[in-house]
């Protein structure tokens, strides 16, 4: 069954139960408490299907001017969605992965300006790439928030990795940098 239809069905049932509970409220206050509990744990509104196109609330952010060469066919544009900034092609894939997973993927980093990459390199030269050579500067890399998924060995994180990798994202160093994924490129 289609997941969105299933959620619509659940929400419809919640509405019905809520109406029933309102009728019974005078004699069965406990029923209302139960409905409150159901509503509190209801899933957040699902993402619209994205299949290769950007979600409507995606905003233009600017262009990337530094970083390694872009793969053929990609332009240096950048777009923003829910605090994540990426190249439009990478964003469409990121949104598709989020749709499959049922919620926006939690990341600690996406696009970095040249200055932000320089600062990251200063902070952790052994891990961050030198400014001018990072795919973060092209909006083609994300760092997934491992803590948000219970660590890099958790089933939840492995599921995120599996979905991203099925949509063209690569990890060039899964042991050293398990959080770092890049779209269509390796690095
Ligand atoms: Zn990274």
Protein residues with C-beta less than 5 angstroms from the ion ligand 1:
141, 143, 180
CA-CA distances (angstroms) from residue 44 to 67, 80, 102, 116?
A: 36, 21, 9, 33
Q: Residues 23-32: what's their mean pLDDT? A: 52
- 35-89 pLDDT tens trace: 455 444 444 556 765 667 899 999 999 999 999 999 999 999 999 999 999 999 9
Q: Are 138 and 68 in contact (CB under 8 A)?
A: yes
Question: What spacing in Å lies between the alpha carbon of 70 and ligand 1's midpoint?
Answer: 17
Question: What spacing in Å lies between the alpha carbon of 151 and ligand 1's midpoint?
Answer: 16
Eight-state DSSP code of residue 143: E
Strand pairing report for 107-109 and 141-144: antiparallel
Question: What spacing in Å lies between the alpha carbon of 5 and ligand 1's midpoint?
Answer: 36
| 63, β-bridge pairs | 77
Looking at residue 27, its pLDDT comes to: 54
Eight-state DSSP code of residue 45: P
Mean pLDDT over the full length of the chain: 85
| The residue count for the chain | 187
Q: Residues 146-164: what's their mean pLDDT? A: 98
Tokens read off for 55: 């979600």
What's the pTM value of the predicted model, to 2 decimals? 0.74
How far is the C-alpha of 166 from the C-alpha of 99, rounded, in Å? 13
Question: What spacing in Å lies between the alpha carbon of 137 and ligand 1's midpoint?
Answer: 10
Question: What spacing in Å lies between the alpha carbon of 97 and ligand 1's midpoint?
Answer: 18
- CB-based contacts of 122, cutoff 8 Å, min separation 6: none
Question: What spacing in Å lies between the alpha carbon of 27 and ligand 1's midpoint?
Answer: 58
């Amino acid at each position: 069954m289609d997941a969105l239809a299933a959620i619509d069905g659940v929400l419809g049932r919640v509405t019905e139960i809520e109406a029933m509970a309102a009728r019974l409220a005078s004699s069965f206050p406990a029923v209302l408490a139960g409905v409150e509990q159901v509503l509190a744990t209801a899933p957040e509104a699902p993402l619209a299907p994205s299949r290769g196109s950007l979600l409507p609330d995606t905003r233009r952010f600017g262009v990337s001017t530094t970083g390694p060469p872009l793969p053929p066919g990609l332009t240096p544009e950048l777009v923003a969605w829910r605090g994540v900034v990426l190249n439009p092609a990478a964003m469409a894939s990121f949104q598709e992965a989020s749709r499959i997973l049922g919620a926006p993927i939690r990341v600690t980093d996406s696009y970095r300006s040249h200055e932000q990459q320089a600062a990251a390199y200063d902070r952790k030269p052994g891990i961050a790439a030198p400014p001018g050579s990072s795919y973060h500067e092209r909006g083609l890399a994300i760092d997934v928030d491992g803590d948000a998924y219970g660590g890099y060995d958790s089933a939840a994180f492995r599921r995120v990795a599996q979905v991203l990798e099925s949509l063209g994202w690569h990890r060039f160093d899964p042991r050293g940098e398990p959080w770092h994924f890049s779209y269509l490129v390796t690095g």
